[in-house]
């Protein structure tokens, strides 16, 4: 079965697979870092070491991001791209 481009009707078409998993990892790291910053700031006002607050904040941020993040696995997105005109289609 030959797939043709709906835009230019060329048969020079390839299948492209794109994963979208890296975004979730970046959000998890950002959440941990932001909670570590908040923990450090809170411990500066209390008689506790800011290092302890930063570590506690990072742990809490990691736990909260894992609880509230979607547990659905990343599904690769498939589409076709024409080598003649460069446009993509499903």
pTM: predicted TM-score of the whole model, two decimal places:
0.42
pLDDT tier at 75 (50, 70, 90 boundaries)? low
Nearby residues of 83 by Cβ (< 8 Å), 6 or more positions away: 10, 12, 13, 14
CA-to-CA dists, residue 26 to 5, 21, 51, angstroms:
35, 9, 23
Instruction: Give residue 68's pLDDT.
Output: 65
pLDDT surpassing 80 at residue 88: yes
Instruction: Give residue 30's pLDDT.
Output: 60
Which DSSP symbol is given to 15?
E
Structure tokens at 19: 């994963």
Q: Report pLDDT digits (tens) over 10-56.
A: 999 999 887 655 455 555 556 667 777 777 777 777 787 878 877 87
């Amino acid at each position: 079965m030959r797939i043709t481009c709906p835009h230019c009707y060329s048969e020079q078409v390839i299948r492209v697979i794109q994963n979208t998993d890296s975004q979730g990892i970046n959000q998890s790291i950002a959440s941990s870092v932001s909670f570590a910053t908040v923990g450090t700031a809170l411990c500066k006002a209390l008689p506790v070491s800011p290092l302890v607050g930063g570590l506690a904040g990072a742990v809490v941020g990691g736990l909260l991001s894992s609880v509230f993040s979607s547990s659905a696995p990343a599904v690769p997105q498939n589409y076709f791209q024409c080598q003649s005109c460069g446009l993509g289609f499903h």
